[in-house]
Structure 1
């Protein structure tokens, strides 16, 4: 636990905080005196020291590792009563990996939360797809599996290629496209639960939305120049919010509303992936949490409004006024992190900002920093926000950024521990 003061009028938010994000930094600025942090000691090594210093003034409750959650909630209630002028009455968990434990903590603490069934629908990808089908949505054919033989039996029915993933995966970690039986040699089946699904063609899209009082207030589509499974193999890592007529010919708000109603979601931020095949929608996956990378921020740039403020409103129990400004396309391009080691040189932020269309640039590493590359869709050395009139213009400008961007990483075979495992640079889920 750490010190700080919660004061002032209005709701007090308990924010589950397991890594630095643009949203968490916004909440720190927007809720002076009305924000407390919920942190988990089990992932302390994943939080960069700089961010911990930035937020040291805030009240933070650390959930200990290996202690029953019921006992930790009792300790939290004692801490809250003793350390805070007003206890939190609202809750937000932006993290995909911490969804189950964070929502269970909120339930035990009497805060607004997702039920255990809702968590299962949005975290267990097999249960999620079964729920989609129950709601009348098309999905890829899929099955739970436990070994290579199960995969081959599924392939005998559905054919290759296939997609193999843990049922609780995020950021494409341990997710593979399999083109035939030899690919199974790279998979380590074990304690995790696995599933397999047919590989879908067509165009893959994303859509985000916010929910207040069970109603989807709006839906914002994103184009993906490259699919996530291509990204982890080296393709351009980008998402483009489309606030123009180039969006998919789908009633996205109605799509999200069907899921929100079917799952009984009261409020929050939604992030969904879907496929458009010959005019038909196939539901991919959905999360009830903020989108990863800088996708949420893209919507603010594309629609000309305070997207983080609107998101914060729904978690505080308020209906936001969605007043949009200029409409355009805007995307986040994650800058490459090609290898593990020590950064020797990286293109300065000022140079990136001079490239046409670049409206913001953030470098999360600098010369002298130890870094660890990972096979994950959030693997990056920073990001830029790029705007343009069309999807094509944004993508061309992103490729100009990649042509100009240079990062040199020298080998560092001596690196061990959290840095070598990839935990000390800032990471963003997708």
Structure 2
């Protein structure tokens, strides 16, 4: 049902927020794009974005109706369309459970419930790591402060406390001592877990998969761990031009995960730690695109169209990776704070700085902003290149030194 006689595939794309990949897919005239939105996420989409996508066939899943009924309503609706979609893609994290289940109900390629657990719920994820013989931090599901303290007594402090389905470091806390347990929110409102604190260096890792085969895997160096960026550390990711510089074979490890989790296609985003002695610990895995602008870094670093390659894998194709460059490229998230913006350095000024390839500012002077405590919160971003990770990071520091962002506190 995805390929018609004229050869144009149809794709059902989960659309919970604007993003670079979504913008790219929507721009492709050789793909029949259908948007799948879910309440209440659909209600929060910006008006200008809704206006810009109103030409696309869109199905909104209602929140107060059983999913099976909504799937039946979709099947009745989609047969009236000229080119019904035969492929499915969810590029983001929050709606994995409901969107993958919906795709299964309407007969599209999807992750089953067990796979969704492996790539979304962290206790199941880490249990699968252990089953596959991939090292990871010790962990435990918890429901009380006493259980967290008992874990700390067994594995030591500091430790990490987070919801089992968190992302972007939202509601994730590092506790140095038992006395800091009082800082945690009410545990009763979500499912929580605790894990040991790993020392060493945190890395991001992305890959694309087609037909169960990892086409390639791209590691990213991070100046600071994600949780540290929430506290104000430099928030950036730099694609490592030569993955062989790392003491682990990231492509081999990714293929082991793909085999063990039965991942057939698509984009994977992962995180791992390397200790000072070179030991490896897998942190997390997600079956979706990386956040921020990490995919774009990989494309700019190796000189190819990362979004085209990614889209092809969701359309059942096995694309080539036509690399034309080898350089380090990273995305630097620009600082943000709550209030009404009174001054902000312009993008044109930033683009004149050494190594800056381009970027985007999300706000303008006069806007009222109230950023969430998350590792992806920013006022914008710039892409920065360098011959080495060190040169790229140094140029990012220069950008931060020049970037001005001032606000007046709102009442």
Aligned residues: 406
> Structure 1 residue 158 and structure 2 residue 155: aligned?
yes
CA offsets 1:374-421 (integer angstroms, 9 cap, x no match):
2100110110000000001110111111111111222222xxxxxxxx
C-alpha displacement at 1:75, in angstroms?
1.2
Indicate the residue corresponding to 1:348 in structure 2. Answer: 346
Unaligned runs of 5+ in 2: none
Indicate the residue corresponding to 1:425 in structure 2. Answer: none
Structure 1 stretches of 4+ with a deviation exceeding 6 A read: none
Superposed, 1:401-412 pairs within 5 Å as 401-412=399-410
Partner Cα separation in structure 1 for residue 305 and residue 31 of structure 2: 21
C-alpha displacement at 1:246, in angstroms?
6.9
Superposed, 1:152-301 pairs within 5 Å as 152-188=149-185, 189-244=187-242, 247-277=245-275, 278-301=277-300
CA contact (8 A) 2:120 2:165 kept: yes
Superposed, 1:383-398 pairs within 5 Å as 383-398=381-396
- The partner residue of 1:124 within 121, 124, 136 is 121
Partner Cα separation in structure 2 for residue 352 and residue 154 of structure 1: 47
If the length of structure 2 is used for normalisation, what is the TM-score? 0.96
CA contact (8 A) 2:344 2:404 kept: yes
C-alpha displacement at 1:58, in angstroms?
1.2
C-alpha displacement at 1:181, in angstroms?
1.3
Partner Cα separation in structure 2 for residue 381 and residue 292 of structure 1: 15
CA contact (8 A) 1:221 1:248 kept: no
C-alpha displacement at 1:7, in angstroms?
11
- The partner residue of 1:76 within 71, 74, 87 is 74
Deviates more, 1:13-22 or 1:236-245: 236-245
User: What SS does the corresponding residue of 2:238 show, helix, strand or coil?
Assistant: strand
C-alpha displacement at 1:245, in angstroms?
5.7
C-alpha displacement at 1:332, in angstroms?
0.3
Indicate the residue corresponding to 1:305 in structure 2. Answer: 304
Partner Cα separation in structure 2 for residue 139 and residue 370 of structure 1: 41
CA contact (8 A) 1:8 1:33 kept: no
C-alpha displacement at 1:341, in angstroms?
2.2
Partner Cα separation in structure 1 for residue 60 and residue 410 of structure 2: 33
| CA RMSD, Structure 1 to Structure 2 (Å) | 1.4
CA contact (8 A) 1:207 1:219 kept: yes
CA offsets 1:148-203 (integer angstroms, 9 cap, x no match):
10011001101100000000000000000000112111212113110001100111
Partner Cα separation in structure 2 for residue 246 and residue 342 of structure 1: 46
Partner Cα separation in structure 2 for residue 245 and residue 87 of structure 1: 41
C-alpha displacement at 1:9, in angstroms?
2.8
C-alpha displacement at 1:54, in angstroms?
1.9
Deviates more, 1:52-61 or 1:226-235: 52-61
Distance 1:164 1:31, change over 3 A: farther
If the length of structure 1 is used for normalisation, what is the TM-score? 0.92
Partner Cα separation in structure 1 for residue 153 and residue 213 of structure 2: 42
Superposed, 1:356-395 pairs within 5 Å as 356-395=354-393
C-alpha displacement at 1:120, in angstroms?
0.5
CA contact (8 A) 1:216 1:257 kept: yes
- Structure of higher RCO (CA pairs closer than 8 Å, 6+ residues apart): 1
CA contact (8 A) 1:273 1:285 kept: yes
Indicate the residue corresponding to 1:136 in structure 2. Answer: 133
